[in-house]
Amino acid sequence: MFYKGEIIQIIEVESYNMKKQSLLLIVTLTILFSACGDNVYNTGKYDGIDQKVDSLLSLMTLEEKIGQLTLYTSDMDQTGAFLRPEYIEDIKTGSVGALFNAYGAEFTRELQEMAVNETRLGIPLLFGYDVIHGHRTIFPVPLAEASSWDMDMIKLTAEIAAREAASEGLHWTFAPMVDISKDPRWGRVVEGSGEDAFLGSKIAAARVHGFQGDDLSDEYTLAATVKHFAAYGAAQAGRDYHSVDMSDRELREVHLPPFKAAIEAGAVSIMTAFNDLNGIPATASTYLFQDILRDEWNFEGFVVTDYTAIMELLYHGVAKDAHHASKLAMDAGIDMSMQDGFYQKTLVDLVEDGRVSESQIDRAVKYVLRVKFQLGLFDDPFRYSSVERQEVEIMKPENLAIARDMARKSIVLLKNDDQVLPIKENIKTIAVIGPMADNQRDLLGSWSAAGDWSQSVSLLDGLRNNNPDVTFIYAEGTGIDDESRSGFNEAVAAARQADMVILALGEAYWMSGEAASRSDINLPGAQEELAKEVYSAGKPTVAVLMNGRPLTINWLDDNIPAILETWFLGTTAGDAISDVLFGEYNPSGKLPMTFPRNVGQIPIHYNMRNTGRPFDADSKYTTKYLDVPNEPLYVFGHGLSYTEFDYSPISLSSKTMQVSDSLEVSITVRNIGEVAGEEVVQLYLRDKVASVSRPVRELKGFQKIHLNPGESTEVVFTITNEELSFYRIDMSYGSEPGEFSVFIGGNSRDTQTAEFELIE
């Protein structure tokens, strides 16, 4: 049996006497600690990892510690991945602990060999990447996946993304993004789960479980990064990187719950937000990262900045120079600096000057090293860099099949007047018109990782491949962001030759995502004018939308009988859309974000608070616009089906509920249509009288059910005190006795209602 002091002594002797000390040190470290036995080291949550971290930390110089807190990027050119010469030197001197944008089994192995074989201690590198909605197989963008309301499928797509990415040498993904946003002008809504904290929390947990699995040491998993902490989705004016100013109640009720859910699901890293919150940049916020993250939530992973965020403290106007910026970040509890190199450049000086203590450095290094141990990198630094695994895992047929299924589940049928859809058997010639029709590149959406758009299935190809008995006539009509009308005549002529028209409209992939805010969220370019011209041909028409945010599509809603919101569906988009259009799959998606009528309604969301002058159409002096209804174009939770579902009245197990008890709420849902279908049954609550004004409705439960024609099922929800709790007038968290309304239906507006009372 070796004890800690003896092990450190042995390692020190090995370390300083060896010419090729690094690899032997790692082997010695691992073997010796394995020999210690559970009664010596496996005393805490991390089963001996913390003791290994402490022992390794005791051997490190200050410069080596700071290296572990430094993250730099690889680059890509036409020949593939490469690394800047100065970063290669940093790796060899132990001055960098992690790299991102470096992937590929051979490339990551080459870099890892530098770190393990050429540095004094041989500490392995951590390789990260933006694996947001797939790696090589690209799944629907996160906002689209959120439209499925299917947690099992969301977890599965994250799991497949992790397997593909891990097979190419990656250990760590900068996902999930869990920012709640009520403003579709903000481009990064495409990367999140919409406007609701409850749904967003469920999705955050599902994606963390998918990426990380049950055991992070499994080489098919990735370490997850929950981002961006915090309130990034509330940027003023919907403009990326802009300021955020909000009450603590809004922060805690709306923006923090998905982060907490992701951390409770086991996320091992968290990323800072670019914005300031109430005047304090997130990267310098002790309130966010010390008071809430560490002290309240007991987070034990590491905190990484977003790209150059410590440097940006200078531009926020809270730091006078690089040393000041680094001190602010270190004092806030920021563990790893991404790309700006400020920690590498300043922390030695700050420690020597006494402005930052070495114990602060040690704390941050421990968090980083712990994750490297959890990933098994000290057992085998090359376990993720396997050419054989890479060849097997990438874009397997089963991956593509799941991508197609996820894409179908993500489609939302917004409108279907006169049952235009699914396309009937007597339709033999279809005009497919618009800039998204024969488009492969944009279908992958933003943050498409290592995806190859040339392998994606366009709508036109999907239609032709899956429906050989139908003739498809194609006309582009106009470009995505093009004001040209030169193709209008060809498009109208194609429509006149056809039995039916599919209008494929939307945004380019670069119009949503980071740094992609829009003040005008209408269809870009001349697409609406194209739709009007084609509509004049008088043929039954379906609009298929491909976009990364809710759009203002009033003319389409007023005139086009059927509208499909397909978002950006990824590699198998065309096949999935064809499946829905022709009834091979009955759409079941529901909107995770409200569609406004115009930008003047923004922010607009289903769970607004009531006012002292609620809307009254007959009274001017109530909350309303003069020029547009209060109601959005499409409400949160909206989504139609090719069948119809009937909801019975709500049944309550009791009309009263005590704080310590629970209440069962049930409803019978029947498929009264002619085809099988899925329905997302949604439960909302309202606290009618409370110490603070409460939202008119809050999502507190949902279940996705499948029913055959004529089939019915009883859906049961259990309400506990947790569903009734909120931040009260004194900011304590809990419930208050009183009357509650419960609503159940297929969206946030059209519901059955019942009442109950919470009593002490």
Which residues 6+ apart lie within 8 Å of 737 measured at CB?
659, 757, 758, 759, 760
Phi, psi of 303 (to 5 degrees): -105, 125
- DSSP H or E stretch at residue 210: helix 197-212
How many whole angstroms from its chain centre is CA 89? Answer: 35
3-class SS of residue 449? coil
Task: Find, among 267, 273, 263, 264, the residue nearest to 181 by Cα.
Answer: 273
Strands 172-173 and 126-129: what pairing?
A: parallel
Distance CA 57, CA 282 (A): 28
Respond yes or no: is residue 306 known to be catalytic.
Answer: yes
The rounded distance, in Å, linking the Cα atoms of 605 and 630 is: 11
Count the alpha carbons within 13 Å of 424 in the hemisphere toward its beta carbon.
9
- Identity of the residue numbered 199: L
Distances (CA, A) of 329 to 282, 326, 356, 548, 678: 9, 5, 11, 33, 48
Pairing of strands 276-277, 269-272: unpaired
Strand order in the sheet with 98-100: 172-173, 126-129, 98-100, 70-73, 337-338
Query: 257-264 vs 197-212: helix axis angle to the nearest 10?
Result: 30
Alpha carbon 222 to chain centroid distance?
15
Would you put residue 430 in left (φ > 0), alpha (ψ -120 to 50) or beta? beta
Number of residues in the chain: 760
Contact predicate 229/289, CB 8 Å: yes
Handedness of CA 73, 77, 82, 85 (dihedral sign): negative
Smallest CA-to-CA distance from 694 within 683, 681, 680, 684 is with 684
Q: Is the C-alpha dihedral spanning 545, 548, 553, 558 positive or negative?
A: positive
The residue assigned the tokens 């919470």 is 758
Backbone angles phi, psi at 418, to 5 degrees: 60, 20
Question: Dihedral angle at the C-alpha atoms of 698, 702, 708, 713, nearest 10 degrees?
Answer: -90
Cβ neighbours of 200 (radius 10 Å): 30
CB atoms within 10 A of CB 438: 16
Please give the sequence-ordered ranges of beta strands (E in DSSP) within 456-582, or none if there are none: 471-475, 500-506, 541-546, 562-565
Number of Cβ within 10 Å of residue 453's Cβ equals: 17
Could you give the CA distance from residue 62 to residue 81 in angstroms, rounded to a whole number?
31
Neighbouring CB atoms inside 10 A of 520's CB total 11
Judged on CB neighbours under 10 Å (0-12, 13-18, 19+), 644 is middle
Helix 527-535 crosses helix 488-497 at what angle (to 10 degrees)?
Answer: 40
d(CA 560, CA 522): 16
Reduced to 3 states (helix: H, G, I; strand: E, B; else coil), residue 31 is: helix
Task: Compute the distance between CA of residue 441 and CA of residue 510 in angstroms, rounded to an integer.
Answer: 10
Q: Where are the beta strands (DSSP E) in 659-711?
A: 663-671, 677-687, 698-707
- Catalytic residue from among 183, 306, 335, 340: 306
Catalytic residues: 306
